Amino acid sequence: MKNKTFPLKPSWEKSFGKRPKTYCRSQTRIIANPGLVIKVLGRKKIIVFLAYFVLVAVAMLNLANYKWAKESHTCSPQVKDNVSFQNRPNFHLLSKAPQTRKRQLVYILTTWRSGSSFFGELFNQNPGAFFLYEPMWHIWQKLYPGDALSLQGAERDMLSALYRCDFSVFQLYNTQLGKNLTTLEIFGALFNKVICSYPLCLFYRKDVVGMVDDKLCKKCPPQSLQALEEQCLKYDTIVIKGVRILDINVLAPLLEDPSLNLKVIHLVRDPRAMAHSRIRSKLGLVRENLQVIKSRNPKIRHFPIADLKHKANKDISDYYAIGALEVICEHVSKTLKTVLSSPSWLKGKYMMVRYEDLVENPVSTLKRVYQFVNLTASRNMEAFVVYMTNGHSNSAQPFQVSPRNATMAASTWRTLLTFQQIRQVEDYCRHAMSVLGYVHVRSLWEAKNLSKSLLTSPKV
Ligand SMILES: *[C@@H]1O[C@H](CO)[C@@H](O)[C@H](O)[C@H]1NC(C)=O
Ligand SMILES: *[C@@H]1O[C@H](CO)[C@@H](O)[C@H](O)[C@H]1NC(C)=O
Ligand SMILES: *[C@@H]1O[C@H](CO)[C@@H](O)[C@H](O)[C@H]1NC(C)=O
Ligand SMILES: *[C@@H]1O[C@H](CO)[C@@H](O)[C@H](O)[C@H]1NC(C)=O
Ligand SMILES: *[C@@H]1O[C@H](CO)[C@@H](O)[C@H](O)[C@H]1NC(C)=O
What is the 83 CA–ligand 2 centroid distance (Å)? Answer: 8
58 and 132 fall within a common domain = no
Q: Supply the pLDDT for residue 73.
A: 42
Question: Which residue's C-alpha comes closest to atom 11 of ligand 2?
Answer: 82
Q: What is the per-residue pLDDT across 65-92, written as a single tens digit (0 to 9) for each?
A: 554 544 444 333 333 444 444 444 444 5
Q: What is the per-residue pLDDT across 15-56, written as a single tens digit (0 to 9) for each?
A: 333 333 333 344 434 445 555 545 555 566 776 677 777 777
- Reported as a pLDDT band with limits 50, 70 and 90, residue 100 is low
47 and 170 fall within a common domain = no
Q: Supply the pLDDT for residue 199.
A: 94
For the chain, the domain total comes to 2
Cα 228 to chain center, whole Å?
18
The answer to whether position 10 is within a domain reads no
Angstrom CA distances, 132 to 123, 235, 321, 327, stand at 9, 13, 26, 25
Q: Supply the pLDDT for residue 175.
A: 83
Candidate ranges 137-141, 265-269, 318-322; pick with highest mean pLDDT: 265-269
Choose among 407, 404, 438: nearest CA to 422: 438
The answer to whether position 91 is within a domain reads no
247 compared with 96, residue with greater pLDDT: 247
What is the 153 CA–ligand 1 centroid distance (Å)? Answer: 28
Share of the chain above pLDDT 70, in %: 68
CATH number of residue 287's parent domain: 3.40.50
Task: Tell me if 82 CB under 6 Å of ligand 2.
Answer: yes
What is the 453 CA–ligand 5 centroid distance (Å)? Answer: 10
The answer to whether position 432 is within a domain reads no
The answer to whether position 4 is within a domain reads no
Q: Supply the pLDDT for residue 288.
A: 64
Q: Cβ of 444: how many Cβ atoms within 10 Å? A: 16
Determine the atom of ligand 2 nearest the C-alpha atom of 83: 13
The ligand with the least distance to the CA atom of 73 is: 2
137 and 64 fall within a common domain = no
The ligand with the least distance to the CA atom of 102 is: 3
39 and 188 fall within a common domain = no
Expressed as residue numbers, the domain containing 182 is: 104-404
Q: Supply the pLDDT for residue 95.
A: 46
The ligand with the least distance to the CA atom of 371 is: 3
Q: Supply the pLDDT for residue 52.
A: 73
In whole numbers, what is the pLDDT of the chain averaged over residues?
78
Q: Cβ of 68: how many Cβ atoms within 10 Å? A: 13
Whether the full predicted model's pTM is greater than 0.85, yes or no, is: no
3-state secondary structure of 239: strand
Given a cut of 80, whether residue 63 has pLDDT beyond it is no
Angle at 171 between CA 166 and CA 174, to 5 degrees: 145
